[in-house]
Amino acid sequence: MKAYVDEVESPAGLLAFAVNEEGALIRLHFVESDYGSVMEEDLGYEGYAVEADESRTAKVREELSEYTSGRRRTFDVPLAFAGSEWQKVVWRELTRIPFGETRSYGEIADNLGRPGAARAVGRANASNVLPLVVPCHRVIAADGTLGGFNGGLHLKERLLEHERRVLAGEETR
């Protein structure tokens, strides 16, 4: 298996991402993350041979750049989900949260017909390897606080602020 890696700027700093041989997004990583994981190492552990090929990553790079500039609010790139059936259901639901809006963990659980499963939604969010495109940054605690975010709350704050500014018609990068 091959993974093709690239980087692009975002409102949350530099993003590293990888696509598979079919062009589906398999990984997105905030370089400024609090957790310091190196995406290429993670892919290697999963059995991928990592290469750079801008022609294979162009579509994802273009859509992420459009998001950064405020011209894109949803993503069309194919996504390769790797997780349990529950995680995949939660991640698909996250893609339905509109740009600039938030939902609580409990609201996500309710939408999935699993009232009381807010913690399970939180665990699925924490294992999302496609943040931003699968917008786990739009999920907050029931009391309106930000909750957690893989990479650090400072990145979640930047992404939510970017979306508020775009909706308000303010200039972005």
Q: Give the pairing of strands 2-10 and 49-52.
A: parallel
Dihedral Cα 1, 35, 62, 64, nearest 10 deg: 130
Phi/psi at 117 (nearest 5 deg)? -100, 30
Examine the residue annotation and report whether 80 is marked as an active-site residue of this protein: no
From CA 159, how far away is CA 138, in angstroms rounded? 9
Note whether 20 and 49 are within 8 A (CB). Answer: no
Phi/psi at 123 (nearest 5 deg)? -65, -40
Which of the residues 90, 108, 118, 136 is marked catalytic?
136
Show which residues are catalytic: 136
